[in-house]
Amino acid sequence: MLAALAVALVAGLVALAGWWLSAAAPPPKAPHPFGMGLREAAPATSGVAALLLSWQSAFFNALRAMLTSIRDGGGGAWALLGIGFAYGVFHAAGPGHGKAIISAYIVSSERALARGIAVSVAAALVQAVVAIALVGIVFLLVGGTAATMSRTANAVEIAGFSLVAALGAYLVWKKAGALAILLRGEGAGRASAFDPTCSCGPVDPARTGRTLVQMAGVALGAGIRPCAGAIVVLTLARSYGIFPLGIAATLAMALGTALTTSAIAMVSVYAKRLALRYAGGRGETTARLGAGAELIAAAFVLVIGLALVAGLWDVGGGT
């Protein structure tokens, strides 16, 4: 019952937010120049998001110009890597499903800063590896067309988004059970689990193993959709005969993306700690509030995954 209520509440809020945002959405973007089926966020028209988009566009144009310069013998490999890193930083600062998944997972399951950063870095690397594999395998080995890459990318997306939904369902089931126990007054000794300063108790290897599996699932789900900008850079580098430099630039983008998403993970971790500390630290009431917040966050992961699989979530251009 608690799980169903949480999922229904989050689904309603997401649907309401989607309806509200769609009313002010700009016209659809023109098709991707390489015919890719990767879904991107609609461009912002004002505010900070528009500024980030303009910076991202400037760095992307610089990337293409640098690739052309290298092709013509002008050099600039190190500059290419620097520009790729900057592009990744600003690209990740925009809207995107990956940051929502990582943040929701941290709120639902993590209080360890190192693990939050690890998930963010892993997701960025997964995104880079998927882009490199798509271009390398589809074009270099299979010799496929843009339509082939589009179909392959869509299949990869569906697999990753399904993984997010499955992880969300598991977290909802787990968190709903924990909240039910606390509401029945059977949570004696569990309140310390919601103490933001508590790291007591022995390490449980089985629990650690489950946590690592969850982290891997979040990283795969958040990073499975390759960056369209990286696809373009890799495709250009391939056509110019400098594919290894395209790979290096893509990895530099991943490092920039990891920097931004790690900063967002840090904010999520510290915000959760602050909220728990403000709620009173230890105690049964705090434990119930913490468990309720974790259930809502877990439901958010599930709803995002289901919406992505169903094609209802407008996947952002960022990670």
pLDDT of residue 253: 92
Are residues 55 and 90 in contact, defined by beta-carbon separation less than 8 angstroms? yes
Sign of CA dihedral 22, 27, 31, 32: negative
pLDDT at residue number 200: 40
Which alpha helices (H) appear in 110-242, and where do they start and end?
113-133, 146-183, 205-223, 228-240
pLDDT value at position 8?
85
Sorted by sequence, the CB contacts under 8 Å of residue 122 that are 6+ apart come out as: 215, 216, 219, 223
Taking Cα atoms as reference points, which of 33, 31, 98, 53 lies closest to residue 313? 98
pLDDT confidence of residue 98: 75
Instruction: Return the pLDDT at 208.
Output: 54
What's the pLDDT tens digit per position in 167-205?
Answer: 888 888 888 888 888 887 765 554 444 444 444 444 444
| Cβ(318)–Cβ(44) below 8 Å | no
d(CA 32, CA 13): 31
Amino acid at 143: G
Q: d(Cα 84, Cα 35) in Å, to the nearest integer?
A: 22
Provide the whole-model pTM: 0.71
Cβ-contact 304, 171 below 8 angstroms:
no
pLDDT in the model for residue 282: 55
Ranges of residues in the chain with a pLDDT under 70 are 17-53, 94-97, 110-111, 140-150, 186-210, 276, 279-283, 312-319
Q: Report the pLDDT value the prediction gives residue 184, as an integer from 0 to 100.
A: 79
**How far apart are the C-alpha atoms of 177 and 191, rounded to whole Å?**
15
